[in-house]
Amino acid sequence: MDNTPAQTTDNAPRSPRHLSVYLATLVKGRLWLKVLIGMGLGLVVGTLLGPSVGLVEPETGTLIGNWLAFPGQLFLATIQMIVIPLVIASVVRGLAASDNLEQLRKMGTRVTLFFVITTAIAATIGLWVGGLVNPGDLMTGLTTPPADAAPVAADIPGLDALPQTLIGLLPGNPLDAMVEGQMLQVVIFSIIIGVALVSMSGDKAKPMLDLLDSLQQICMTVVRWAMRLAPYAVFGLMAQLTTTLGFRAMIGMASYVATVLFGLAVLMGFYLVILKLLAGVRPLQFLRDTRDVLLLAFSTSSSAAVMPLSIRTAEDKLGVRPSVSQFVVPLGATINMNGTALYQAVATVFLAQVYGIDLSVGSMALVVAMAVGASIGSPATPGVGIVILAMVLQSVGVPAAGIALIMGVDRILDMCRTAINVTGDLVACRLLENWSGKRIPPPAGPSAGDA
């Protein structure tokens, strides 16, 4: 009986690192290099098959591109299939590995405030960069707003509807939330279960923790299978993208793309600065430690797809305890959309300039508020930024039809902003570990050498 609580306590923090050891072989085998090669080959093949070169008929090129993208679609479908049970197992076991309820309260409050504040800062950076560069001025006069482009009032719940809105965050039926992919409700449900397990005695909580341990191992095994497809998935997705749009069409809106990339670079610099100031982490060292997961996030455009590798990177290379990484990474994949918020702000300014609409200070503040609010609970899957952008545009009276202008380059920008989103998750892990005062040093073995 004496060994049971100790065994539960010892296994709970360490098991995710052991469960994700299968990724070590891929990382040591230079996964980032394989992904880069796949990306480059995909661009070359897609350009040869696409309308830019015209090596084959457009219909034939599209057909070939769709088949080339099959491994990528299989990769994303596999990840989406397993992400719900993985989030539940990771969040619950991460919380159960914490010391007490007071520690959970502090950790949850700090990480949520960090995500909300940095998302607001990201949206503000986007507005500033958009106003500084004025990318839409190059297209002024080329596009006219539709006849029904009158401003639309934002559909924001009033004070009378706020209580019901907050109650709606609780999953009345957790199974429905899982089936519908309501990530925020799934995370809240997992947090409640995790807090309940912390409140229980060790012998009563052990059966559930053992079950979740097995569930996590199953999820990690499926993810291992999917990870072997990563280079081929990247090749196929890039080939399909270039085949459909053509290389020239992808660079046709260079000013808009450059503005978004500049804003994302500023946000990345902001992250590196606060890491240096608040945690003493050298920027170049952080980039070396996280290059594998950031490149995979860039390639897949999905924070959920790289969640296991994010947890492993946080623990093995950033020296973060499993009780922190298993809580922060799944939560960040759900509510931390800093890169997406910045992109939405730049896109709103760009389309407002295209249509000749002046954004007032109040409209800009509304963009920031909407970007922060819309980021919470949005699924960590490719393309979700466009859906959120339509709501943001509607709230400030910019015609949502303008989204058609930027759809052609959205995939490239989606890849970039996803990498920034994952960066925010890892930065939050490292800062929270530092603030807790219980930091463990990064391993000095093979993991450190790979960096």
Q: How does pLDDT run across 292-335, given as a tens digit for each residue?
A: 888 888 877 777 778 888 888 888 888 888 878 888 888 787 77
Q: Which residue has the tokens 């060292």?
A: 285
Instruction: Report how far residue 252's alpha carbon sits from residue 65's, in angstroms, rounded to the nearest whole number.
Output: 21
Q: Which residues pair with 52 in a beta bridge?
A: none
Using only C-alpha atoms, the chain has a radius of gyration, in whole angstroms, of: 22
Name the residue ranges covered by the structural domains of the chain: 3-450
DSSP state for residue 173 in the 8-state scheme? S
Residue 442 scores a pLDDT above 60 = no
Angle (nearest 5°) at CA 59 between 56 and 64 = 70
Q: What is the DSSP string of 300-337?
A: H--TTTTHHHHHHHHHHTS---HHHHHHHHHHHHHH--
Residue 140 scores a pLDDT above 60 = no
CA distances from 175 to 87, 126, 179, 253, 365 (A): 14, 37, 6, 43, 37
Let me know how long the chain is: 451
Which of the two residues, 152 and 80, has the higher pLDDT score?
Answer: 80
Q: What SS3 class is residue 390?
A: helix
Section 230-235 average pLDDT: 80
Q: Please, what is the average pLDDT of the chain?
A: 74
What is the domain class of 3-450 according to CATH? mainly alpha
Encode 204-237: b = buried (16+ Cβ within 10 Å), e = exposed: ebbebbeebbebbeebbebbbebbebbbbbbbbb
pLDDT single digits (tens) 50-95: 776 767 777 787 888 888 888 888 877 777 787 778 778 877 776 6
Instruction: Report how far residue 230's alpha carbon sits from residue 137's, in angstroms, rounded to the nearest whole number.
Output: 39
Encode 171-195: b = buried (16+ Cβ within 10 Å), e = exposed: beebeebbeeebbbbbbbbbbebbb
Judge if pTM exceeds 0.85. no
Residue 155 scores a pLDDT above 60 = no
Instruction: Report how far residue 79's alpha carbon sits from residue 352's, in angstroms, rounded to the nearest whole number.
Output: 36
What percentage of residues in the chain have a pLDDT greater than 70? 70
Q: What SS3 class is residue 413?
A: helix
